[in-house]
Structure 1
């Protein structure tokens, strides 16, 4: 433990001393600290008694620092400057973090694999990714997030990413191990991976087959998950066919980790939107990340 706390009457006495030594005027120091002049005089006197040395010479024309007072002032002044610089640096560093909230599958399969590109383009920027199982409203803690909304959705600080396009996907190994899938109706006889989310409405197999013009009568779930990320992992493991979203599955499809089970996709009438908080304190950093997301998804528009 520092001995400093035992060498002072109170930590506040250092602030009083610094103001009085800098202004060489107890009245000005009192006004700066929003206290009375007698309280400044009392605090300085208590510090002198505690230190057993005179810090100021009092006279009719004001006060002057003694040799001991000058030595203490230089030490206090330089220490205050270093503390201010450290606090400013910490505050600035904290403000550089741009927080993006996204689904687990979006974070794992689209954002994380490409973050190195963002960091190379913007080496001074810091990003915090928050995986969430529900839509969150951007606020002081969340700078950007991605929502699925009707295609005509509009609000301030909102950018269209791409339409919601859903297609059946599976691993190359699964596709090569089964008979060729010639039509949408053939999917009903395959191992279909189902998913339901408690807080996000996703297109399910019954709805997708109806939109694709096929009958889902007799469709029996083979595997059911309550988290879409698990459905993706099951498809990657060759467990069957899952529904894939063009945005979250973009890199998996480009890298052939997943492939379309059949050349058929459905547009739902919804779209993905990037939504910002409008936080002016971090608008420049948020703008960098927003532009990067829009650029890296431009081939989907």
Structure 2
């Protein structure tokens, strides 16, 4: 435990001393601290008695620091400077960043790989990404987030970034090592990677195959993963075919890390939206990022 409090009559005396030493004028120090000049004199005398040393020389011309006073002032000034710098840094930490909340898959396969392009254009913008397993409302801690909603969804401070399009994906390695897939029905003879999200409704293989005209009533998964990101990792590892979302798979497809074994796809009528707080006071700060996300997401 620091013994500083035992070496001072009060912590307030340090602020009084710093103001008096910096101004070399008790009257100016009093005005700065919004107290009376006698109060400044009393605090300085109390500090000198407590330390058993003179800190100021008083004469008709005003006050000057003694050698002990100069030594103390240099250290107090330096210490105050470091404390002020730290307090500014931590108190501003939430406002220096634009905080984006997104699912793990959106963050891992879209935001993080793409953001360096944005930051090259906006070097002064700092971004914090928060992953979440469910949709959350933007608030004073989260500036924007990404939701999946019906295509006609409307509310203040919401921007559509693209339709929900779902199709099979796999790694080139898996397709090379497995029997050919020439039609969507052939998928029934392959290892299909299933996922179930307890907080976000996602289309599964049975529903997707039914929509494209394949009877999958007897399809029983060997393994079900409770996170879409896990199913994507399994597909990337060459373990089978997963359902992919155009928004989160676009970079993986563009870089040929994943491929589409068939051209069939399902458009659900839903869309992805960038969502900010309806009463956000930071629109001027977040709009460059919002506009960039909207533009970049359309590069499918």
* TM-score band w.r.t. shorter chain: 0.7 to 0.9
Residue 178, structure 1, aligned to residue 179, structure 2: yes
CA deviations over 1:29-66 (Å, ceiling 9, x no partner)? 2x75466776544322211212421637488xxx9323
Structure-to-structure mapping, 1:149-228, within 5 angstroms: 149-176=149-176, 177-182=178-183, 184-228=184-228
Match in the other structure for 2:11: 11
The alignment's TM-score, normalised by the length of structure 1, stands at 0.82
**Partner Cα separation in structure 2 for residue 93 and residue 71 of structure 1:** 35
Is the 1:101–1:145 contact (alpha carbons within 8 Å) kept by the matching residues of 2? yes
Match in the other structure for 1:260: 260
Once the two structures are TM-superposed, the CA of residue 119 in structure 1 deviates from its matched residue by 3.2
Please list every run of 5 or more consecutive structure 2 residues that lacks an aligned counterpart in the other structure: none
Distance 1:26 1:58, change over 3 A: farther
**Partner Cα separation in structure 2 for residue 154 and residue 58 of structure 1:** 74
CA deviations over 1:4-45 (Å, ceiling 9, x no partner)? 65653232101123345549456972x754667765443222
Distance 1:234 1:80, change over 3 A: closer
3-state SS in 2 of match to 1:193: strand
Once the two structures are TM-superposed, the CA of residue 241 in structure 1 deviates from its matched residue by 1.5
Is the 1:96–1:282 contact (alpha carbons within 8 Å) kept by the matching residues of 2? no
Once the two structures are TM-superposed, the CA of residue 240 in structure 1 deviates from its matched residue by 1.9
3-state SS in 1 of match to 2:152: coil
3-state SS in 2 of match to 1:234: helix
RMSD over aligned Cα, in angstroms?
A: 3.3
Please list every run of 5 or more consecutive structure 1 residues that lacks an aligned counterpart in the other structure: none
Is the 1:192–1:241 contact (alpha carbons within 8 Å) kept by the matching residues of 2? yes
Is the 1:169–1:258 contact (alpha carbons within 8 Å) kept by the matching residues of 2? yes
3-state SS in 2 of match to 1:101: strand
Equivalent pairs, count: 294
Instruction: Please identify, of 167-176 and 194-203, the stretch whose mean Cα deviation from structure 2 is larger.
Output: 167-176
**Partner Cα separation in structure 1 for residue 3 and residue 282 of structure 2:** 39
Match in the other structure for 2:240: 240
**Partner Cα separation in structure 1 for residue 180 and residue 149 of structure 2:** 37
The alignment's TM-score, normalised by the length of structure 2, stands at 0.82
Structure-to-structure mapping, 1:1-301, within 5 angstroms: 7-20=7-20, 22=23, 24-25=25-26, 29=30, 33=33, 40-51=40-51, 52-53=53-54, 55=56, 57=58, 64-68=62-66, 71=70, 75=74, 76=76, 80-81=80-81, 83-85=83-85, 87-89=87-89, 91-92=91-92, 95-176=95-176, 177-182=178-183, 184-277=184-277, 280=281, 283-284=284-285, 286-300=286-300
